[in-house]
Amino acid sequence: MSGTDHPSRQDLRDALMLMSIVHALVAGLAWALTPLLTALQRRRTLQSARTGGGSPAERAVAALRGAVILRLALLEAPALLGLIICLLAVATGQMREQGLYWLNAVSAVLFIAFAALSFPTRERVETLLRARFLD
């Protein structure tokens, strides 16, 4: 293929399908590893904070903040990748031919729903702190 040739429809389909498969693997891995990595990060933050200053509640809030940031960052990456694949499919006209590419947007919808439903509100943080330190 020379510098002025455009990729064929089959080349575009193959590239989008490969990106969709990679996206599915990355999204599955992110959703599977997020609870484990979040728990490990929270435990490490609490252990390092035990030697530092501050009240137990401050240490717990710091651990919670770090865990939330890590969890959302891990899930944001496949969400953005899925949206980029959808954008490429629309821009190249492949979305009309193969509507299956819309499935790449599912990770973004799940990310938004998860973030909205699990975001640490004041009540959730208070409940967590009470369960952690008053029981």
Q: What percentage of the chain carries pLDDT values higher than 70?
A: 86
For residue 110, the model assigns a pLDDT of 96
Q: Closest by alpha carbon to 102, among 79, 81, 85, 80?
A: 85
What is the SS3 assignment for 47?
helix
Neighbours of 10 (CB within 10 A): 8
Confidence check: pLDDT of 103 > 80? yes
Q: Closest by alpha carbon to 83, among 71, 91, 72?
A: 91
Determine the Cα–Cα distance for residues 132 and 114; give it in Å rounded to an integer.
23
Determine the Cα–Cα distance for residues 48 and 38; give it in Å rounded to an integer.
15
For residue 27, the model assigns a pLDDT of 96
Neighbours of 13 (CB within 10 A): 17
Stretch 11-24: mean pLDDT, rounded? 95
| Local confidence band at 135 (pLDDT 50, 70, 90 cut-offs) | low
For residue 28, the model assigns a pLDDT of 96
Question: pLDDT digit string (tens) for 43-100?
Answer: 776 666 566 667 766 777 777 788 888 889 999 999 999 999 999 999 999 999 888 9
Alpha-helical (H) ranges within 7-55 are: 9-51
